[in-house]
Amino acid sequence: MDLETFWFCLIVVVWAMYFLLEGFDFGVGMLLPFVPRSDEERSTALRTIGPVWDGNEVWLVVAGGATFAAFPAWYATMFSGFYLALLLILFFLIVRVVSFEWRSKSETPRWRSTWTWANTIGSFGASFLWGIGLSCLVYGVPINSNGDFTGDVLDLFSPYSVFAGIAVVALFAFHGATFLTLRTTGELSGRAESAARKLAIPAAVLAAVYLAWTVAVGMDRNDKDLFPPVLPAALGIAALALAVAFLFAGRSGRAFAMTALGTISLVATLFVSLYPRVMVSSTDFADSLTVDDAAASHYALAVMSVVALIFVPVVLLYQGWTYYVFRHRIGGGAPEPQ
């Protein structure tokens, strides 16, 4: 494996970690107004993600930084072409972050309801736009022979990309519901399980259709063969089917593991369908950005590889330790995390 391919794979891993961990964060946020029935229960739901949500967002920073360093041409074209969409994602993420901090600043019902809904809207909006944005990489956007984006924000919206946004929202909500089932107690855990059962089949069907559609888009618009993209797609569909089966069998832990695997498979299917390109040109396929064309110099990639091989395992170990420390179920009405 050459360094360009190594860094492409590493960026895929980083995006998979972001979707896996921030996915259930977003899911909990989207469910806040609907599953908990009291302000105390909403505080409990927020406490399940309170110690980890900001650490989960580190993977997004790593994804952006790694893309900038390893594939500067990809970073330049994507961030200039997707500028408005990324700015809107940033707005939703900021609203969500502020909601964590400000919701506990007052006890008045209106104040708390406002910031509860702010968290929900931020979680929904970011999830929806991430689905659209990443799907556009393989579906294609207008790029000229200089690697410059020549379209506008409307070029990001197609039936495929919008469906991708809907599928990601549904999958994250399902993922978040199974997470809440494991991390809470009593009636809140029971209602989370009930919500997960209601979301299970629609989310699994939407995600399965999206996975199959992504393989088809890769073949149609990116000159890919059926193999290997069909492998992660089939794995994802099987995982989500098992998640539904485990959930209705009362095995919430295994259901969560399968929603996690399904989320990772979704990211893997998208990027396997994209490789060896990093952005597909919808105006002229020959102008698509490839891994080799967009990569930094060999020396830069070699230095970064040494750094990554040292620090990525450290980050994984630290984050794993964090989840181990905060592994216990949460109940009661203790104050919200600051």
Give per-residue pLDDT as tens, 297-307: 999 999 999 99
- Summarize pLDDT for 237-270 with one digit per residue, the tens: 999 999 999 999 999 999 999 999 999 999 999 9
pLDDT at 44 over 50: yes
Q: How confident is the model at residue 333 (pLDDT cuts 50, 70, 90)?
A: very low
Task: Please name the amino acid found at residue 16.
Answer: A
Count Cβ neighbours within 10 Å for each residue of 245-275 and write b for 16 or more, e otherwise. ebbeeeebebbbbbbbbbbbbbbbbbbbbbb
The pLDDT, as a whole number, for residue 335 is: 46
Residue 277, number of CB atoms within 10 A of its CB: 25
3-state secondary structure of 329: coil
- pTM of the shown model: 0.96
Separation between Cα atoms, residue 135 and residue 100, nearest integer Å: 29
* Contact by Cβ (8 Å): 297, 212: no
Bond preceding residue 335 cis, omega within 30 of 0: no
* Contact by Cβ (8 Å): 56, 18: yes
SS3 content of the chain, % helix, strand, coil (to 5): 80, 5, 20
Tokens of 123: 């979680």
Tokens of 128: 């929806």
Q: What percentage of the chain exceeds 90 in pLDDT?
A: 96
Tokens of 328: 């216990």
CA distances to 27, 189, 334 from 33, rounded to whole Å, are 12, 15, 19
